[in-house]
Amino acid sequence: MSVFKLDLSETAHVLQNSGKEFDLFFSHGTLETELYKPDRVDNQVPHERDEIYIIASGSGKFEMEGEITSVKQGDFLFVPAGAVHKFREFTHDFSTWVIFYGPKGGEKGQMKNFLHSCTG
């Protein structure tokens, strides 16, 4: 088995040439990985599956269910299935990896943040 790698600059180039704001670049089982580069406005609607965003470039704000936070390159965001969300006030170079996984309706169970238990 060989290593599978998505290079951001190559993937962004392919996305730009496609004329689309997002495209699927990898899938395995229920896992799907896209690159998303909205053009001025994020017109997303809630998704049927859980998703993760990893900000690939740029910065902006992220709103989910009325809560707003600043985001920048490298940040990780979790969005449960069905949650209303969008990116706002993002820079012209903004792009994000989008990772969908699991069943429609999302995974069941409580979210756990291990960051504070690891650092404290």
Helix %, strand %, coil % of the chain (to 5):
15, 40, 45
Q: Please give the torsion angle defined by the CA atoms of residues 70, 73, 76 and 77, in that order, rounded to the nearest 10 degrees.
A: 40
**Percentage, residues of the chain above pLDDT 70:** 96
Tokens of 59: 């910065």
Secondary structure (3-state) at 6: coil
Res 82: pLDDT: 97
Q: Is the pLDDT of residue 4 over 80?
A: yes
CATH 2.60.120.10 correct for 8-119: yes
Going by C-alpha positions, the residue among 120, 118, 55, 116 that lies closest to residue 91 is 55
Do 49 and 23 contact (CB within 8 A), yes or no?
no
pTM, full prediction: 0.92
Long-range Cβ pairs for the range 3-7 (8 Å, 24+):
6/33, 6/35
Residue 117 confidence class, pLDDT cut points 50, 70, 90:
low
Rounded CA separation 1/72 (Å): 34
Strands 31-36 and 22-28: antiparallel
